[in-house]
Amino acid sequence: MKSIKKLLFFLLVILLGFQVQAQRCGAHIIKGDLDISYKGTADKRYEMNSVMKFPQAIYVAHYLDSCCISLDKRVTVKKQDLDQNTWSPMLKIIDEEREFSYGELLALSLQQSDNNACDLLFKLCGGPRDVQNYLRSLGFKNIRLKWTEKQMHSKPRQSHDNWCTPRDMAELLNWFYCERQSSPVLMYIWDLMLNCETGNNRIKAALPPGAQLAHKTGTGFSKGKTLRGINDVGIVIMPNGDYYPIAIFIKRTKREEEVAEIAKLLLSP
């Protein structure tokens, strides 16, 4: 009897271990009429980290278009009002104050993942709740935003509250691809994401020759050698013109290249 109990316990540990391992990495890809989930994780929740700057940009496009605000409109930014202890390339180009256009703030946020630029867009256009409400109006109920970048950096555990499912993120990417030509601002965002400067070892490393990628990365708060929140979402444009929205989220890993390995698996014929 004891040996049977030990065997059952051993099998339970293996099963639970497999489930945890499967949920550690979440991914989903849309290939035409096919929706492909990585190990059944399409509807699990994963924290977005800086991937949230993509749905925020979708909302900003809506806000600018609705308010008839040009991408060229400039706002004055004072360096003393910015977070000095966060990832923010814009800090290097400001002495005391500087004017930035909305287009420049979007470029800093999407291409360089600048946290201050992201929070300035929240301040100027509407906060996380406004972004979430707009996404819900489009039908995306499993993309949740609650905190700004500054709020997450002040309390890293709050990053768990900014989450999405790989399925909804892939579907938002699909919506974006289909609607991008309906607005000059959306087309501008598309061009920015085609020239994203982060994540060269992620989905981009898995692309077949001649393919393009419009994407946004996200990276969480890591401890030691374990990387947390290593994410990448985007739209792969194949050489034949086919496009594949793909979203990959890894809760923890020791290798950034794991994103590329999952992407290569999902992109294979």
Rounded Cα gap, residues 259 and 245, in angstroms: 15
> Could you report how far apart the first and last alpha carbons of the chain are, in Å?
49
**Residue recorded with tokens 């990832």:** 87
CB atoms within 10 A of CB 171: 21
Residue type, 219: T
Note the Cα 173 to chain centre separation in Å. Answer: 10
Query: Rounded to an integer, what distance in angstroms lies between the CA atom of residue 163 and that of residue 48?
Result: 5
- Whether 50 is catalytic is yes
User: Taking the mean position of all CA atoms in its chain, how far away is CA 62?
Assistant: 18
The helix/strand count (H/E) of the chain reads as 9, 10
Please tell me which residue in 3, 50, 154, 268 is annotated as part of the active site. 50
Amino acid (1-letter code) at residue 107: A
What is the radius of gyration, based on Cα positions, of the chain?
20
| Alpha carbon distance 76, 60 (integer Å) | 18
Whether 232 and 215 have beta carbons less than 8 Å apart is answered as yes
- The three state secondary structure string of 196-242 is CCCCCCCHHHHCCCCCEEEEEEECCCCECCEEEEEEEEEEEECCCCC
The set of catalytic residues is: 50
